[in-house]
Amino acid sequence: MARDSDSGRKKPLKLKTGSFDRNAAMARMGMVAGAQFAGHTLGNLFRSKEDKERRNRDFYIKQAQFLADELGQLKGSVMKVGQMLSVYGQYFMPPEAIEVLRSLQDDSPPVAWEDLEPVVVQRLGSKRLAEIDIDPEPLAAASLGQVHRATRKSDGMQLCVKIQYPKLADAIDSDIRTLTQIVRLARLAPKGVELSSIMEEVREMIYREVDYDRELRMTREFSERLADDPRFVVPQVFPEYSTETVLVTSFEQAHHVQSDTVQNLSQVRRDRLGAQALELFFREFFVWGIVQTDPHFGNYKVRVNDDGNDQMVLLDFGATREFAPRFLGSYYDVVTGAFERDAKRLIDGAIGINLLRRDSPQHVFDAFAKVGMLMIEPFSDDAPAPLTNAEGAYRWGDSDLPFRVSRAVSDAAISRWFRIPPREIVFLHRRLGGVFVLLAVLDAEVDSRDMLASYLYRARDAEQST
């Protein structure tokens, strides 16, 4: 894991781990959310349509902000659920609420060391613990755990110790049940949405992320797959110091993508980093079928080297997903159809992954194909002139593609024909969107048409040969 010297310190938080404390806090959240909705409904009784719409927007922002503030104090699975809702919620929640929930990123106040030290002592045992010296000041704090730097006494090797918050796994099921009711009381999910099934998928995702044995395996998997590619650095894992709630890896020095050090790199070096990030995603999806789906910038840092061959340091593989061949085949059809301007193949692929209904009217298919072909713009040979440089490379930092895609979907008035996508698509697009944002933050200029083509057709050839 890596440390970013640009990050600031935050006051430690006293973690609410006891069932009474957590249940009391969440009960209060439900009462307040319900009372706010009742007051809002009463206040709207005699208002005009325009006033109601304005007050509704303000209400959703207020409710989501209240939820985000309270979840940030509780940490654990409820905070992670809030983050996941910002991913799933884009398909059914008010955009005002989504913007607030997106603020629930993994940069919250750390938990006091006095609450975490007993976990480490219990899990590692006194003999193993005596071999390392852990700094009580955390490097990073997230919703499910936090990271501390450590030194192995025998040789001075620098380590990172990732510690899961106490009793977190025990509270996941009850937290999700309670939070489902709170979201309903806050009216952040409209009637007709199968919130329970969505929360069940979120529950499965959280259980995957608190499985440190699996994360250790995935970290080792990526390390082995990228061992011969010097452009990427994956931390070494130390099973002898790791348990189901403690994960120890090597400390890898690197800079945050938004740091001055990275932002001040030359255009050529930033372009190279952007191409690396894009190719890594293509390799994960089209070749391996294994994707790290968490796009948080803390998981993709940069090691700036004197020779100009900068490396991407890859961290945190808890959100890694494996994709089934059937899903991959249909999704290849979606991308290939968009890439080749083949509307029928694109639509057949979308139906195959349950993104579109087969009984949709033709205008919905046409509109969906138009949106799909718009999304492929960075990889096309006819991108708008202002968005390409003299060599034809796409200028990611100047692109407003996400806004144009969102507007195209809205203008087509086809949202009622879309399904809430299956979790594979939700989390795949979460990572893909993160790659796009990363390239924009790097202000990279990358001609990636040939890159995408090579991976698309490699995947197609591999599928045909099986």
Cβ neighbour number for residue 32 with a 10 Å cutoff: 17
CA distance 279 to 286: 10
* pLDDT in the model for residue 334: 93
Residues ≥6 apart with Cβ < 8 Å to 35: none
* pLDDT in the model for residue 270: 98
Cβ–Cβ under 8 Å, residues 257 and 442: yes
The alpha carbon dihedral of 412, 409, 191, 360 has a sign of: positive
CA-based nearest residue to 432, from 329, 313, 294, 336 = 294
Q: Which residues pair with 322 in a beta bridge?
A: 290
Tokens 């197609």 map to which residue?
Answer: 460
The alpha carbon dihedral of 237, 239, 241, 243 has a sign of: positive
Quote the pTM value: 0.80
Q: Output the 3-class SS for the chain.
A: CCCCCCCCCCCCECCCCCHHHHHHHHHHHHHHHHHHHHHHHHHCCCCCHHHHHHHHHHHHHHHHHHHHHHHHHHCHHHHHHHHHHHHHHHHCCCHHHHHHHCCCCCCCCCECHHHHHHHHHHHHHHHHHCCEEEEEEEEEECCCEEEEEEEECCCCCEEEEEEECCCHHHHHHHHHHHHHHHHHHCCCCCCCCCHHHHHHHHHHHHHHHCCHHHHHHHHHHHHHHCCCCCCEECCCECHHHCCCCEEEEECCCCECCCCHHHHCCCHHHHHHHHHHHHHHHHHHHHHHCEEECCCCHHHEEEECCCCCCCEEEECCCCCEEECCHHHHHHHHHHHHHHHCCCHHHHHHHHHHCCCECCCCCHHHHHHHHHHHHHHCHHHCCCCCHHHECCCCCEEHHHCCHHHHHHHHHHHHCCHHHECCCCHHHHHHHHHHHHHHHHHHHCCCEECCHHHHHHHHHHHHHHHHHC
Q: Which residues of the chain have pLDDT under 50?
A: 3-8, 17-20, 26, 29-34, 36-38, 40-47, 106
Question: Quick one: angle between helices 423-441 and 267-282, nearest 10?
Answer: 170
Q: Where exactly are the structural domains of the chain?
A: 19-104+171-191, 254-466
